[in-house]
Structure 1
Amino acid sequence: MTTPATDSTLSALLPDLDEVPESLVDDAVLESFLAWARDRGLSLYPAQEEASVALASGDNVILATPTGSGKSLVATAAHFIALAHGQRTFYTAPIKALVSEKFFSLCEIFGPAHVGMMTGDATVNGNAPVICATAEVVANIALRDGAAADIDQVVMDEFHYYSEPDRGWAWQVPLLSLPRAQFLLMSATLGDTAWLEEDLTRRTGRATTPVTGTVRPVPLDFDFVYSPVHETLQELVDAGKAPVYIVHFSQRDAVERAQALTSMTFVDKERKAEIASAIGNFRFTSAFGKTLSGLLRKGIGIHHAGMLPKYRRLVEKLAQQGLLSVISGTDTLGVGINVPIRTVLMTGLAKYDGIKHRILKSREFHQIAGRAGRAGYDTEGTVVVEAPEHEIENYRLRERAGSDPKKLKKLRKKSAPEGRATWTKSTFDRLTTAEPEELVSQFQMSHSMLINVVARDEWTYTALKGLLRDNHDTRTKQNRDILTTIDLYRGLLRTEIVEEFEADTPSGKDARLTRELQRDFALNQPLSPFALAAFDLLDPESDTYTLDVISTVEAILDNPNQVLTAQQRERRGQEIAALKAEGVDYTERMAIVEDITWPKPLEEELEQAYDIFCESNPWAAEFDLAPKSVVRDMIEKAMTFSDLVATYSLARSEGVVLRYLTDAWRTLSHTVPPEHRSDELEDIIVWLGELIRQVDSSLVDEWSAMADPDKPVTEEQVAEHAFGVDDPTKLSSNPRALRRMVKNYFFRHVELFAFEKEKELAAMDDYLADPPDWPGAMDAYFDEYADIGVDAGARSPDMVIITEEPQQWRVRQILDDPDGDHGWAFEGVVDLDGSDEAGEVRLSELRVVQG
């Protein structure tokens, strides 16, 4: 059991139970929580109080109340009660953004010293008594430690994810493997939970209390309309039903909708001034940031997972302050993100789920619709659903025809688009009244799960039997899983990852791992062991050795699909243009480019090594090797973050790009051993870390991963990152990273000059008062030489000279002409103050020199 915290802030918050009779302890703890709530002006709803009383009594609680009924406050009560008893409590959620949001919220309540976070790829204050974590983290702890896990309470938010095919196992495993823990399971859409109540009580020995109030504190009004979105929105705003969240099922649609609304007026001069004041000195550093800045100042927000975290958090902050009239976003609204709104306007009732285009499930519909109505502000929430576009057009045709039978008969109605699911008023009526689908077990056994179980101290057979024969599946499914597990186990024995030994067990044998598990096994880049093995196959004498190390690391990272698709599109476009210039006909061109994909350095070599690795490490086959070149592409083409986004038109996916670069930086930092680190690689790691920090200093995984994972964050860090402040360390304070950025910046000019890309060069230097005459310089150079080197020799240290002075750096980038004369160069002066302000290299002057 964790020792109760003694910090003065927490001591003032929690009750002193030393003098309280044991029979009154539960009441004293509950009364202390209620007093804390009253001090903050919070009055508990009956369902909240019922759940809190049950938690204080030691019961499990299944909280299935409607969205907007204050489940977060019940979660806080659970943590409060656990801390009062000196216990360790975990909050789990399905997405990292929600985990991060809860981390900051609980830091405010309990103090940063007592709150930690684990997301699988970053840990903050990992020994804290309150931990915010993704569900997979808790599931893997439960698999590895079983009943001995240092977890006394688990609060599982968005518990309907139990039914998700790919991830549902992570919501079930803690229920199966943590018999000492008290559970609080929360969701507005659980369906019938009688079986779950009985199961929880049997496993934990605790009573399980269902709290299922069906009355929303803020009732909802539903409407189905046949008017276009902009007309519907105007009516809602005019009727005083803003703020409105417009739900789309793709990020592209959400952004395009927001931009289409700029002709409408949503805020007056006073509100514009309030918005400008709230934004303050926030840095809109990227291409999309400039778009977002303009929209926000018109009272229009955008919210989707592809945005930079700092932008998404700023939108949430402005929404929480009531400054935005409209937010155009995606259906991620349904996953508990804190965007308080009055009206949900759904652009449809069908979505593409990655496999097919289908009608929303009842659970999905109610998760989204339930976000309407702000407790304490609204007496009613509004949910409006748009009819399909073809139905809106048909409705307008019928209106124009009136009641004239002849006109009605002649109507040429629009048909629904082929191959896409469509909906009607009947679909809407059904969804508004339908109960959520029943929870469905998604338990499955994998190599990584099996390895975690074998790592336990208890007898392996008993541990496996408990998981496989006492889970929530049918007997038939359990039998199949048992056979699968036997095959997996035999494979681990054959490859000597697991060994059997004599033991005092009914069979006379037990099993153990032959090697120690890494701290975050099966969470943080599970193929890291493969990368370590593959590094030994690379040639340290090769000119591309450092880039090959990077490519090996990139091959074990998750694919940033938007980036790869854009790279593929770019390569195909270039090839099509070349083939067209050669006179190849259209059909043949299309057939040729069909095989072109994104760049995959070392693909053949890595795939061969991976096949061999899987023979002795069968668990690795559960994961996909994915060769790609994003960081390598940036290095080879000397691109900044802005260059990468602009080159591949990724403004709508900046968050995806940054998340990938962060994963790459972290994995390079933590995975590549000293013997494979060149000075160049060390420079690249420093550069990449600084690039990430300058793009978005609010990315909690980025700043936390640089520190001791067991060390608490400070009050200052919480204040900086929780409220959207964007004030990274000055770029000039990291001269090693800046030096690399300066080299990249000048070599980027060399690359563009070599390929005669005048427009791109002009765009890079558009901030200069006196930019070079690039067309004239190109004409002069190419009159003298046929080409310019852009290979490893051209980017060698001898080709760039940096003279560092206190307020400015002078740079001479020599061009690698084919004759080796080296008379041409780019000379410039780095403006350190301007670079600090921009977060990227900025020059005060730049010129092309000859001789």
Structure 2
Amino acid sequence: MNLADVFPDKPEPDDVYEAFTTWTSDNGIDLYEAQEEALLEIVSGNNVIVNTPTGSGKSLIAAGAHFAALSADRTSFYTAPIKALVSEKFFDLCEKFGTDNVGMMTGDASVNADAPLICCTAEVLANIALRDGAYADVGQVVMDEFHFYSEPDRGWAWQVPLLELPHTQFILMSATLGDTSFFAEDLTRRTGRETAVVTSATRPVPLYYTYTRDPLQYTLENLLETGKAPVYIVHFTQAAALEQASALMSINVCTKEEKAAIAELIKGFRFTTAFGKALSRLVRHGIGVHHAGMLPKYRRLVERLAQAGLLKIVCGTDTLGVGVNVPIRTVLFTGLTKFDGSRVRRLRAREFHQIAGRAGRAGFDTEGHVYAQAPEHVIENEKAAAKAGSDPKKRKKVVKKKPPEGFVGWSEETFANLQEAEPEPLVSRFTVSNAMLINIIARPGNAFDAMRKLLTDNHASPGIQRKLIKEAIAMYRSLLAAGIIENLDEPDRSGRRQRLTVDLDTTFALNQPLSPFALAAYELLDPEDQLHALDTLSIIESTLEDPRAVVAAQQNRARGEAVAQMKADGIEYDERVERVAEITYPKPLEELLTEAYNAYGSTHPWIRDHALRPKSVARDLYERAMTFGEFIAHYELSRSEGVVLRYLANAYKALDQTIPDDAKTEDLRDLTAWLGELVRQVDSSLLDEWEQLANPTDDGAPPAITEQTSSITRNTRAFTVAVRNAMFRHVELAALDRPDLLAALESGLSQEEWEEALDAYYETHDDIGTGPGARGSGMILIDTTSTPGHWSVTQILDDPERHHDWRIHGDVDLTASDEAGTPVLTITELTQA
């Protein structure tokens, strides 16, 4: 029975509290004192700040808050800092309240957005608060991981709802809030509700701390032998996490029975990428990897195997410190320092407590453990000293290993201080932007008064407020000069004294803020141009955030190839250095887009809040005619597969949603369909899980960890483009005269056969064209009817004389393609017509 089945007939506080606690009791849940206190305050209508340790049941408090709001027919919002956590809570709340009652909004996608309970990112709620203010249909907000209020780039989104939603009941939750007296007083003043602060210094599952000077592998073996697994080994780089996981394969982590259980659970799961194949070997051994660069389906797999108690070791970064619900008994820090983007520094108290708090989960453990390894050189020195024993001569000969250059050290004292340290005070990160100003002008009422209140009654210091007021005035004048807003002589019926002269989409500032610019730039392209579809993609890509790992890899590869060529050309070192410094990652249409951006910004000043970022990632993938896996391998991005896929998914959504259907050419439709299907075939885990929740099985058995991929051949348009790309990949390699790489594609012909065929071609022609004309639809012939279950494909080569007398012939196996999620192509011959 879910919570939607037990709503009380009357939303009286006692009835709501009794209905919810009866449900918890029926489900075998005993409430902690802090949970009871928080729930009593919530049903009484008060704001509540929950400042209790990790593992003390904040998720249940959140569920009780949503239950109280929905019982009273109020809309309730749950916010979290990252989409992965929003997604996890969405699925969890679907199970508790039913799929009809729960929706999700993440800024670039939404599911059941009219539901009374919405899971969303903080930015989504902040923009709703700015757009609708006191009129917003937001009866209650549960803000999880509220310590993100102090994040430099995103903290504004956690503050805005507190400032702009005076009729809303707030529940702020985190294990590391520090002093909350300011927020309690501020919330009460703004909402007129009493604000209760629920704290608890006692964890339901106590933590025990150990500083160890033993080698990591010895420490792990000891933890496994003494029943302290599952162990989360915390690294602060993704490379170190995977390297450590691979190094632990020599330890016997699981029993034969546990390994068999893992194999049974994942038998329907597709490990399709190079990283996936490495992960498959690891998880079958009882070892997981978890970091933000992984594909979502791989992270979810590791989380679900850990939740099933089948992974004894998980090597990862601090991503599990952001609320993902995975049962961990022991957290093992490999170090107490991290690189924060500009320097290496020791962990802050809040960071340490967030990660350490994952150890010891209520309902799973009676105690949790936190271990910290001494620095590697300290461990080596102690090992050498122990080997020398008490012999003074031997001890004198011991050469101490020095720390690496630039090393920031830590010690047992550092570890002890972190345990006792209170989380740092939360700091206001309020900012002002054109989008904020436009949202407020668009809503009913006097925008000047609303903006003045927002700028003078936020949490920033007076000095910062004065700076923000000056910035807002400059933005307002810019919007006025551009004709985007106008002053009214008399207030209109809704009390506005200023109004927008342009119509804004209801999702303004929720989706890609540069989408209107992209649509305007699209009009500059010639639909008859062969590159029209790819140039459209370049416009869209220029509006997206840079996937830094990808563009860095592109730049490194471009520079490496350029250096090799310059060496071959005999260019001197100093000149090579000078030339290489000018080489960057590909930026198609950079000059055209920059001019268009400046022109558009003169009449639409708000776009200047968002930089133009020309780049080629999705386009590069298409032009190279690569599969996702080939692209990852080409740029050595196996640790960043998730980054690449998220970017491609964003590019697909923006391409699909920005350009109106009636303005799309057939080539653009083909490109869009191909990109969407590529994303789905690589990882459709979010959609799959939603479909499973909406259509649950009746047998009551836990679902297998499978990947419900769709048929790639079902989407004929997208599959046709994928087949054309697969064939053109052979053209590109043939143009490079690389029979070795052609044979490596497992395309049906051996290296010797490719060599013979290419020699014959190059006896008649000097080169093979690879430009737009060479890959046009007129250069490939696809017969879909000659053989059931197969397509016959012929690629015409673009020779210099345009004889078009050489052709690559191939066969596509449709059934095998569906199983693989990518065209399974066999080349039968390269021959002259």
C-alpha deviations, 1:379-431, integer Å up to 9, x for none? Answer: 21111111222222232233334455665566543333333432222211111
Cα distance in 2 for partners of 1:188, 1:601 equals 46
Describe how 1:151-162 pairs up with structure 2 within 5 A. Answer: 151-162=138-149
Q: Which residue number corresponds to residue 602 of structure 1?
A: 589
Q: Which residue number corresponds to residue 461 of structure 2?
A: 474
Cα distance in 2 for partners of 1:263, 1:713 equals 39
Which of 77, 88, 97 is the aligned partner of 1:110?
Answer: 97
User: 1:608 offset after TM fit, Å?
Assistant: 1.6
Q: Which residue number corresponds to residue 8 of structure 2?
A: 15
Alignment of 1:792 with 2:772, yes or no, is yes
Partner of 2:172: helix, strand, or coil?
Answer: strand
C-alpha deviations, 1:127-172, integer Å up to 9, x for none? Answer: 1100000001111111111111000000000000011111111111
1:765·1:771 contact (CA, 8 Å) conserved in 2?
no
Q: Which residue number corresponds to residue 760 of structure 2?
A: 780
Which of 381, 385, 396 is the aligned partner of 1:394?
Answer: 381
Cα distance in 1 for partners of 2:662, 2:29 equals 58
User: 1:589 offset after TM fit, Å?
Assistant: 2.2
Partner of 1:261: helix, strand, or coil?
Answer: helix
User: 1:675 offset after TM fit, Å?
Assistant: 5.8
Aligned partner letter, 1:446: S
Describe how 1:607-626 pairs up with structure 2 within 5 A. Answer: 607-626=594-613
Cα distance in 2 for partners of 1:391, 1:305 equals 30
Aligned partner letter, 1:801: L
Partner of 1:827: helix, strand, or coil?
Answer: strand
Cα distance in 2 for partners of 1:639, 1:247 equals 35
Which of 700, 718, 727 is the aligned partner of 1:746?
Answer: 727
Alignment of 1:758 with 2:751, yes or no, is no
Partner of 2:713: helix, strand, or coil?
Answer: helix
1:531·1:552 contact (CA, 8 Å) conserved in 2?
yes
Q: Which residue number corresponds to residue 3 of structure 1?
A: none
Cα distance in 2 for partners of 1:47, 1:9 equals 23
Alignment of 1:729 with 2:702, yes or no, is no
Q: Which residue number corresponds to residue 808 of structure 2?
A: 826
User: 1:703 offset after TM fit, Å?
Assistant: 9.9
Aligned partner letter, 1:764: L
Cα distance in 1 for partners of 2:685, 2:701 equals 8
C-alpha deviations, 1:429-467, integer Å up to 9, x for none? Answer: 111110101111111111111111111102112211221
Q: Which residue number corresponds to residue 270 of structure 1?
A: 257
Q: Scaled by the length of structure 2, what TM-score is found?
A: 0.96
Q: Which residue number corresponds to residue 346 of structure 2?
A: 359
Cα distance in 1 for partners of 2:213, 2:689 equals 48
Alignment of 1:647 with 2:634, yes or no, is yes
- Deviation >6 Å, runs of 4+: 717-723, 769-772
Aligned length: 828
Describe how 1:670-689 pairs up with structure 2 within 5 A. Answer: 670-674=657-661, 676-689=663-676
User: 1:497 offset after TM fit, Å?
Assistant: 1.4
Alignment of 1:483 with 2:470, yes or no, is yes
Aligned partner letter, 1:367: Q
* More off after superposition, 80-89 vs 458-467: 458-467
Which of 177, 181, 185 is the aligned partner of 2:164?
Answer: 177
* More off after superposition, 574-583 vs 408-417: 408-417
Partner of 2:249: helix, strand, or coil?
Answer: coil
Which of 277, 285, 288 is the aligned partner of 1:298?
Answer: 285
Partner of 2:183: helix, strand, or coil?
Answer: helix
> Share of identical aligned residues, percent?
54
User: 1:205 offset after TM fit, Å?
Assistant: 1.1
C-alpha deviations, 1:33-92, integer Å up to 9, x for none? Answer: 011112221111111111111111111110010001111111000101111111100000
1:394·1:413 contact (CA, 8 Å) conserved in 2?
yes
1:770·1:845 contact (CA, 8 Å) conserved in 2?
no
Which of 58, 69, 73 is the aligned partner of 2:60?
Answer: 73
Cα distance in 1 for partners of 2:643, 2:697 equals 24
2:233·2:314 contact (CA, 8 Å) conserved in 1?
yes
Q: Which stretches in structure 2 are left out of the alignment for 5+ residues?
A: none
Cα distance in 2 for partners of 1:164, 1:850 equals 63
Partner of 2:488: helix, strand, or coil?
Answer: strand
1:159·1:187 contact (CA, 8 Å) conserved in 2?
yes
Q: Scaled by the length of structure 1, what TM-score is found?
A: 0.94
Cα distance in 2 for partners of 1:42, 1:769 equals 63
Cα distance in 2 for partners of 1:721, 1:444 equals 47
Which of 316, 321, 325 is the aligned partner of 1:334?
Answer: 321
2:287·2:313 contact (CA, 8 Å) conserved in 1?
yes
C-alpha deviations, 1:341-373, integer Å up to 9, x for none? Answer: 111111111111112211111000000000001
Describe how 1:125-274 pairs up with structure 2 within 5 A. Answer: 125-274=112-261
User: 1:9 offset after TM fit, Å?
Assistant: 6.8
Cα distance in 1 for partners of 2:529, 2:675 equals 23
Cα distance in 2 for partners of 1:834, 1:350 equals 48
Which of 430, 440, 446 is the aligned partner of 2:427?
Answer: 440
Partner of 1:232: helix, strand, or coil?
Answer: helix
C-alpha deviations, 1:743-773, integer Å up to 9, x for none? Answer: 111011111111123343223216x597882
* More off after superposition, 438-447 vs 415-424: 415-424
Partner of 1:483: helix, strand, or coil?
Answer: helix
Cα distance in 1 for partners of 2:314, 2:753 equals 44
Aligned partner letter, 1:779: D
2:739·2:751 contact (CA, 8 Å) conserved in 1?
no
Structure-2 change in CA distance of 1:322 and 1:115 (3 Å):
same
User: 1:783 offset after TM fit, Å?
Assistant: 2.8
Q: Which residue number corresponds to residue 5 of structure 1?
A: none
2:533·2:671 contact (CA, 8 Å) conserved in 1?
no
Structure-2 change in CA distance of 1:191 and 1:420 (3 Å):
same
User: 1:725 offset after TM fit, Å?
Assistant: 3.5
Aligned partner letter, 1:264: I
Aligned partner letter, 1:783: E
User: 1:822 offset after TM fit, Å?
Assistant: 2.3
Alignment of 1:349 with 2:330, yes or no, is no
Describe how 1:238-637 pairs up with structure 2 within 5 A. Answer: 238-403=225-390, 411-504=398-491, 510-637=497-624
User: 1:280 offset after TM fit, Å?
Assistant: 2.4
1:397·1:411 contact (CA, 8 Å) conserved in 2?
yes
Cα distance in 2 for partners of 1:320, 1:703 equals 16
User: 1:490 offset after TM fit, Å?
Assistant: 1.2
Q: Which stretches in structure 1 are left out of the alignment for 5+ residues?
A: 1-7
Alignment of 1:715 with 2:695, yes or no, is yes
Partner of 2:497: helix, strand, or coil?
Answer: strand
Cα distance in 1 for partners of 2:740, 2:356 equals 47
Q: Which residue number corresponds to residue 4 of structure 1?
A: none
Partner of 2:9: helix, strand, or coil?
Answer: coil
* More off after superposition, 284-293 vs 536-545: 536-545
Partner of 2:770: helix, strand, or coil?
Answer: coil
Structure-2 change in CA distance of 1:826 and 1:773 (3 Å):
same
Cα distance in 1 for partners of 2:457, 2:106 equals 28
Cα distance in 2 for partners of 1:380, 1:540 equals 66
Partner of 1:828: helix, strand, or coil?
Answer: strand
Aligned partner letter, 1:826: I
Alignment of 1:801 with 2:794, yes or no, is no
Partner of 1:810: helix, strand, or coil?
Answer: strand
